[in-house]
């Protein structure tokens, strides 16, 4: 199997012509899957949501969530002999859980959430670590019409095998440098300690565990967003830990902008912080206003080959090999509040997007010109053969 990234649309005009490209919120037509395909999507949903008899399910929602999503989770809980309650917050953008919701969460054994706080709030982390709560984050399941899409029916087992194969591409021991380059001039370095690598590989997401059946787990549904190839969880979110992030990022696009950049801005990191944003374009000026002094909160890479390649809303692309650099600024962006007032992410967050990066970990290549090397892993191909044609499953990325 070859490096398919080179067959993707390259020009901004070609990307803009695609019906699934999206950098700002807009309704998409998900079409209608066949009965066979729809059943595949439902099976994935039922198995990812590992609700058990006797569970108490708490669902944290927001006003813009499709109410049918709440209904299907409630229905699954009832079918399995579990109790259910939901709490609607003001939006998804909580970075900490409000006090009135904490009492509800304390009683839960299984949590389904749309809130940003789910992964970062130490309160939520403690519930998983100390009480064994199982959590499902549904950033990518805000409308049940998504069950008609290829990414919803893509076998979750293949996603897990892909993630484990990516994990194997990292060095086996010792410190190393994660290096990211691209044809536009990106040259970004992340020094990994051995302790960071060990902590990363213990995470249930890096173990390819995408079913919420393991005490203390945190999984995404729909299973598209792979584990971050870097995030502060790798050193326990310790604010005093100095990683030594440095270098230049020249992204192709960013969430909150309608089209890819004609003049990619230059974002410079030094000593873990954004120290400069260069460029004379309007996007460069907008980014300069609010990410200077910001920090890299995640470096995400999708792992679902059927996720639309150029749909980057709401949280970056989920296509294998496409990267999003999630940067938290020091204050909210008035531009983002104006363009995406109901955005699911906090307005201090910015996802810079690139499709053609090469990423190396020490002397090993994780991504080559936007192609995720684990797609060619023999174990991944053997897994895919159980579900169909591995070329179609792993190499035929949807762009329309």
List, in sequence order, every residue forming a beta bridge with 58; answer none if it has no partner.
Answer: 85, 111
Strand order, beta sheet including 134-137? 83-88, 56-61, 110-113, 134-137, 218-220
Q: Is residue 46 part of a domain?
A: yes
CB contact at 8 A, 209 and 156? no
Same domain? 352 vs 237: yes
Same domain? 95 vs 137: yes
Same domain? 134 vs 199: no
Q: Is residue 57 part of a domain?
A: yes
Burial label for 392, CB within 10 Å (0-12, 13-18, 19+), is exposed
Same domain? 375 vs 257: yes
On average, the pLDDT of the chain sits at 93
The pLDDT of residue 125 is 94
pLDDT tens for each residue of 280-298: 999 999 999 999 999 999 9
From CA 34, how far away is CA 45, in angstroms rounded?
Answer: 17
CB contact at 8 A, 117 and 94? yes
- Please name the helix (run of DSSP H) or strand (run of DSSP E) that holds residue 47, with its range, or none: helix 35-48
Q: Are strands 134-137 and 110-113 parallel, antiparallel or unpaired?
A: parallel
Per DSSP, which regions of 24-103 are E strands? 56-61, 83-88
Q: Which one, of 177, 180, 163, 226, lies nearest residue 361 by Cα? A: 177
Q: Which tokens hold the place of 282?
A: 């309007």
Query: Model pTM?
Result: 0.93
Same domain? 315 vs 278: yes
Q: Is residue 216 part of a domain?
A: no
Domain boundary among 117, 148, 179: 148
Same domain? 8 vs 109: no
Q: Which tokens hold the place of 259?
A: 């089209």
Q: Where is pLDDT greater, at 399 or 136?
A: 136
Q: Is residue 210 part of a domain?
A: no
Same domain? 264 vs 194: yes
Same domain? 133 vs 278: no
Domain boundary among 148, 171, 192: 148
- The total domain count for the chain is 2
Instruction: Say if residue 391's pLDDT is above 80.
Output: yes
Q: Are strands 364-368 and 187-192 parallel, antiparallel or unpaired?
A: unpaired
List, in sequence order, every residue forming a beta bridge with 399; answer none if it has no partner.
Answer: none
Number of alpha helices (DSSP H) and beta strands (DSSP E) in the chain:
13, 17
Q: How confident is the model at residue 236 (pLDDT cuts 50, 70, 90)?
A: confident
pLDDT tens for each residue of 33-49: 999 999 999 999 999 99
From CA 106, how far away is CA 86, in angstroms rounded?
Answer: 13
Q: Which one, of 67, 202, 214, lies nearest residue 145 by Cα? A: 67
DSSP 193: P
- Please name the helix (run of DSSP H) or strand (run of DSSP E) that holds residue 136, with its range, or none: strand 134-137
Same domain? 95 vs 112: yes
3-state secondary structure 289-356: HHHCCCEEEEEEEECCCCCCCCECCCCCCCCECCEEEEEECCCCCHHHHHHCCCCCCCCCEEEEEECC
pLDDT tens for each residue of 312-354: 999 899 999 999 999 999 999 999 999 999 998 999 999 999 9
Q: Is residue 140 part of a domain?
A: yes
- Across the chain, which distance is largest between two alpha carbons, in Å? 59
Range of the domain at 258: 4-27+155-204+223-395
CATH number of the domain enclosing 46: 3.40.50.2300
Domain boundary among 133, 148, 163: 148
∠ CA(85), CA(90), CA(94), 5° rounding? Answer: 90
Residue 59: C-alpha distances to residues 19, 71, 127, 269, 367 (Å): 32, 11, 15, 38, 36
Same domain? 200 vs 316: yes
Same domain? 71 vs 178: no
∠ CA(231), CA(233), CA(238), 5° rounding? Answer: 110
Peptide bond into 308 cis (omega under 30): no
Sign of the torsion formed by the C-alpha atoms of 162, 400, 138 and 245:
positive
DSSP 22: B
Instruction: Say if residue 5's pLDDT is above 60.
Output: no
Q: Is residue 17 part of a domain?
A: yes
Same domain? 196 vs 53: no
The pLDDT of residue 178 is 98
The pLDDT of residue 398 is 76
From CA 91, how far away is CA 345, in angstroms rounded?
Answer: 9
Q: Where is pLDDT greater, at 239 or 169?
A: 169
Instruction: Say if residue 6's pLDDT is above 80.
Output: no
pLDDT tens for each residue of 192-219: 999 999 999 888 889 888 999 999 999 9
Q: Is residue 232 part of a domain?
A: yes
Instruction: Say if residue 264's pLDDT is above 90.
Output: yes
Q: Is residue 370 part of a domain?
A: yes
The pLDDT of residue 237 is 83
The pLDDT of residue 396 is 87
From CA 366, how far away is CA 364, in angstroms rounded?
Answer: 7
Instruction: Say if residue 226's pLDDT is above 70.
Output: yes
Per DSSP, which regions of 5-101 are E strands? 56-61, 83-88
The pLDDT of residue 7 is 62
Give me the residue label for tokens 């959590």.
135
């Amino acid at each position: 199997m070859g490096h398919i990234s080179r067959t993707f649309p390259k020009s901004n005009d070609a990307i803009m012509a695609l019906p699934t490209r999206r950098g700002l919120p807009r309704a998409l037509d998900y079409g209608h899957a066949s009965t066979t395909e729809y059943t595949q999507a439902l099976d994935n949903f039922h198995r990812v949501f590992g609700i058990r008899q006797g569970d108490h399910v708490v669902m944290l929602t927001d006003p813009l969530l499709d109410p049918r999503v709440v209904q299907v989770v409630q229905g699954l809980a009832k079918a399995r002999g579990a109790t259910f309650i939901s709490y609607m917050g003001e939006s998804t953008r909580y970075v900490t859980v409000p006090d009135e919701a904490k009492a509800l969460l304390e009683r839960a054994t299984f949590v389904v959430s749309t809130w940003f706080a789910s992964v970062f709030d130490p309160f939520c982390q403690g519930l998983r670590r100390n009480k064994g709560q199982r959590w499902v984050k549904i950033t990518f399941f805000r409308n049940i019409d998504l069950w008609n899409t290829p990414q919803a029916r893509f076998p979750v087992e293949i996603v897990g095998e892909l993630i484990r194969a990516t994990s194997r591409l990292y060095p086996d021991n010792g410190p190393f440098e994660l290096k990211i380059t691209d044809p536009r001039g990106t040259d970004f370095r992340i020094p990994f300690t051995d302790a960071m690598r060990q902590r990363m590989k213990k995470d249930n997401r890096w173990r390819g565990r995408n079913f919420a059946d393991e005490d203390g787990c945190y999984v995404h549904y729909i299973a598209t967003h792979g584990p971050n190839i870097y995030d502060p969880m790798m050193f326990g979110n310790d604010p005093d830990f100095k990683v030594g992030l440095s270098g230049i990022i020249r992204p192709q696009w960013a969430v909150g902008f309608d089209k890819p950049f004609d003049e990619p801005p230059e974002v410079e990191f030094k000593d873990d912080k954004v120290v400069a944003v260069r460029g004379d374009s309007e996007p460069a000026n907008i980014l300069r206003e609010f990410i200077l002094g910001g920090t890299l909160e995640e470096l995400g890479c999708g792992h679902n080959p059927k996720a639309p390649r150029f749909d980057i809303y709401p949280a970056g692309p989920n296509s294998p090999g496409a990267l999003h650099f999630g940067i938290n600024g020091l204050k909210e962006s008035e531009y983002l509040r104006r363009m995406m007032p109901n955005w699911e992410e906090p307005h201090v967050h910015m996802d810079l997007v690139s499709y053609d990066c090469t990423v190396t970990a020490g002397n090993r290549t994780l991504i080559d010109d936007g192609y995720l090397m684990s797609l060619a892993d023999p174990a991944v191909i053997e897994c895919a053969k159980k579900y169909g044609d591995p070329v179609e499953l792993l190499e035929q990325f949807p762009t329309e």
